[in-house]
Amino acid sequence: MNTLMDVLRHRPGWVEVKDEGEWDFYWCDVSWLRENFDHTYMDEHVRISHFRNHYELTRKNYMVKNLKRFRKQLEREAGKLEAAKCDFFPKTFELPSEYHLFVEEFRKNPGITWIMKPVARSQGKGIFLFRRLKDIMDWRKDTRNSDDQKDDIPVENYVAQRYIENPYLIGGRKFDLRVYVLVMSYIPLRAWLYRDGFARFSNTRFTLNSIDDQYVHLTNVAVQKTSPDYHPKKGSKWMLQRFRQYLASKHGPQAVETLFRDMDNIFIKSLQSVQKVIISDKHCFELYGYDILIDQDLKPWLLEVNASPSLTASSQEDYELKTCLLEDTLHVVDMEARLTGREKRVGGFDLMWNDGPVSRDEGPPDLSGMGNFVTNTHLGCVNDRKKQLRQLFCSLQVQKKASN
């Protein structure tokens, strides 16, 4: 079920361009970008779906570096408390370059579990868990031996990350959240948050005992699909609305508010940390898939950011979600030049950051003047996008007629 093709083909006034024809919009993949971006001339109105060096955010080793640097900067400028807001990323070390730093940290916390992740691969490939340094020694030997290539090709970069041992469980199962963030520009930073998303469940029950059982710990749908327990009919996903309701009935609305506010913080800080590094080209926009893990204290952790979140649908519900997501993305990109640029909500997208925080602007004005600011995010809330879009485009039409 190819959602992207369906959405693009059904968009009124859009025509598919084949081969070497001239295009105004390209939903490209990262390999094309790498090879062609630098020597492709694009008119002002042209749009392309990736930033040139998005890997600053999406490759685990770069992201860690950028975040660490940003944290230091925050500490200098705004103090320890503000810098602590960046502590949503489990301690991570690049290997082999930071091996010694890693070993130091490892020895400080004996017995905890670490996870080894390849820097550039996706879908859960190449990931494993370990508790002893011996396990990495064995793995290094294995990869070297199985390598029948020449010696001077470097071993793929990995990161070793502290494994979150107390994940929040539902029905005894571990899960992570997939959230969609649309960035229209980095300078200034304009980011939109999509209301829908989903929680991906592991099929097997969580226990730390079977570290070898890859399936328990990795919740990517791709890995789950190869698990012997996987039954395609099940879907193993919950829409975020469901998840939010479940938490609210268990912990109360206040706790849920706090959790979602903390998640907003993750999105903003992660984007801010790469703001100065990413080449902000006005032709570029990017739809990121954030992977978030919640622990038992209801603290959210950032697992990773995906520049090309999967757009294939695993079920009817999933198809709905992804097609609406893409439609709304195209609305925000606004090739049709219908928007005024002052909108705070387009379909399921809420403007989260516009060179500064965006407020919800509801309710009575804040007379105390102190942080009663509520951000304009509605993650996991009701998504009445059809109605909103109808009203939006209607009023835009009226405005246009009036000004003509």
Partner 1 sequence: MLQEESDLSLIIAQIVQKLKGSNLYSQLERQAWASLQRPEIKLESLKEDIKEFFKISGWEKKLQNAVYSELSVFPLPSHPAAPPEHLKEPLVYMRKAQGSWEKRILKSLNSMCTELSIPLARKRPVGEQKELLNKWNEMGTDEPDLSLFRPVYAPKDFLEVLINLRNPNYENGDSLSFRTHLGLIQVPLKVKDIPELKECFVELGLNTGQLGIDDSTQVPPELFENEHVRIGQKVLAEQDSAAAQQYIRQGSPTALRAELWALILNISSEPEDVLYYEQLKTNVIQHDLLVDSLIYKDVKLTASNDDYYFVFEDYLYQVLLCFSRDTSVLSHFAYNSASPPKSYIRGKLGLEEYAVFYPPNGVIPFHGFSMYVAPLCFLYHEPSKLYQIFREMYVRFFFRLHSISSHPSGIVSLCLLFETLLQTYLPQLFYHLREIGAQPLRISFKWMVRAFSGYLATDQLLLLWDRILGYNSLEILAGDAQK
Nearest to 238, CA basis, from 175, 312, 325: 175
Q: Which is nearer to partner 1, 167 or 275 (CB)?
A: 167
Stretch 41-60: interaction string toward partner 1, x if CB under 8 A: --------------------
What's the closest the beta carbon of residue 314 comes to partner 1, in angstroms? 11
Secondary structure element (H or E) that encloses residue 10, with its range:
helix 3-10
For residues 108 and 297, what is the distance between their CA atoms, to the nearest angstrom?
A: 23
For residues 366 and 35, what is the distance between their CA atoms, to the nearest angstrom?
A: 51
Contact status: 234 vs partner 1 (CB under 8 A): yes
Find out whether 351 and 192 touch, Cβ atoms under 8 Å.
Answer: yes
Q: Which is nearer to partner 1, 236 or 275 (CB)?
A: 236
Question: Within a 13 Å sphere around the CA of 73, how many CA atoms are in the beta-carbon half?
Answer: 11
For residues 58 and 115, what is the distance between their CA atoms, to the nearest angstrom?
A: 18
Contact status: 245 vs partner 1 (CB under 8 A): yes
For residues 350 and 195, what is the distance between their CA atoms, to the nearest angstrom?
A: 7
For residues 178 and 200, what is the distance between their CA atoms, to the nearest angstrom?
A: 7
Contact status: 367 vs partner 1 (CB under 8 A): no
Contact status: 390 vs partner 1 (CB under 8 A): no
Please give the residues from 246 up to 275 whose contact with partner 1 meets the rule CB under 8 A.
246, 248-250, 252-253
Q: Which is nearer to partner 1, 9 or 242 (CB)?
A: 242
Nearest to 286, CA basis, from 357, 177, 185, 355: 185
Q: Which two tokens stand for residue 55?
A: 């890997």
Q: Which is nearer to partner 1, 209 or 368 (CB)?
A: 209
Q: Which is nearer to partner 1, 23 or 246 (CB)?
A: 246
DSSP helix/strand/coil, 90: coil
Q: Which two tokens stand for residue 112?
A: 């905890």
Task: Kindly tell me which residue out of 55, 88, 163, 201 binds partner 1, with binding defined by CB under 8 A.
Answer: 201
What's the closest the beta carbon of residue 262 comes to partner 1, in angstroms? 19
Contact status: 371 vs partner 1 (CB under 8 A): no
Task: Kindly tell me which residue out of 35, 82, 142, 229 binds partner 1, with binding defined by CB under 8 A.
Answer: 229
- For the chain, the distance separating the N- and C-terminal CA atoms, rounded to the nearest angstrom, is 42
What's the closest the beta carbon of residue 325 comes to partner 1, in angstroms? 18
Contact status: 369 vs partner 1 (CB under 8 A): no
Alpha helical stretches, state H, 147-252: 214-217, 221-226, 240-251
List, in order, residues 6 or more apart from 164 with CB less than 8 Å away: 90, 293, 295, 301
Q: Which is nearer to partner 1, 85 or 225 (CB)?
A: 225
Kindly determine how many residues on this chain lie close enough to bind partner 1 according to the rule CB under 8 A. 28
Find out whether 274 and 157 touch, Cβ atoms under 8 Å.
Answer: no
Longest dimension (CA), the chain: 73
Contact status: 366 vs partner 1 (CB under 8 A): no
What's the closest the beta carbon of residue 252 comes to partner 1, in angstroms? 4
Task: Kindly tell me which residue out of 1, 170, 277, 396 binds partner 1, with binding defined by CB under 8 A.
Answer: 170
> Could you tell me how many residues make up the chain?
404
Q: Which is nearer to partner 1, 154 or 232 (CB)?
A: 232
Find out whether 352 and 179 touch, Cβ atoms under 8 Å.
Answer: no
What's the closest the beta carbon of residue 204 comes to partner 1, in angstroms? 6
Contact status: 333 vs partner 1 (CB under 8 A): no
* Chain centre distance of CA 127: 19
Q: Which is nearer to partner 1, 125 or 234 (CB)?
A: 234
Task: Kindly tell me which residue out of 150, 233, 342, 401 binds partner 1, with binding defined by CB under 8 A.
Answer: 233
By CB under 8 A, which span of 119-127, 169-177, 259-267, 328-336 interacts with partner 1? 169-177
DSSP letter at 2 equals B
For residues 358 and 190, what is the distance between their CA atoms, to the nearest angstrom?
A: 10
Please give the residues from 266 up to 325 whose contact with partner 1 meets the rule CB under 8 A.
315, 317
Contact status: 188 vs partner 1 (CB under 8 A): no
Contact status: 209 vs partner 1 (CB under 8 A): no
Task: Give the binding site for partner 1 (CB under 8 A).
Answer: 170-173, 201, 204-205, 229, 231, 233-238, 242, 245-246, 248-250, 252-253, 315, 317, 381-382, 384
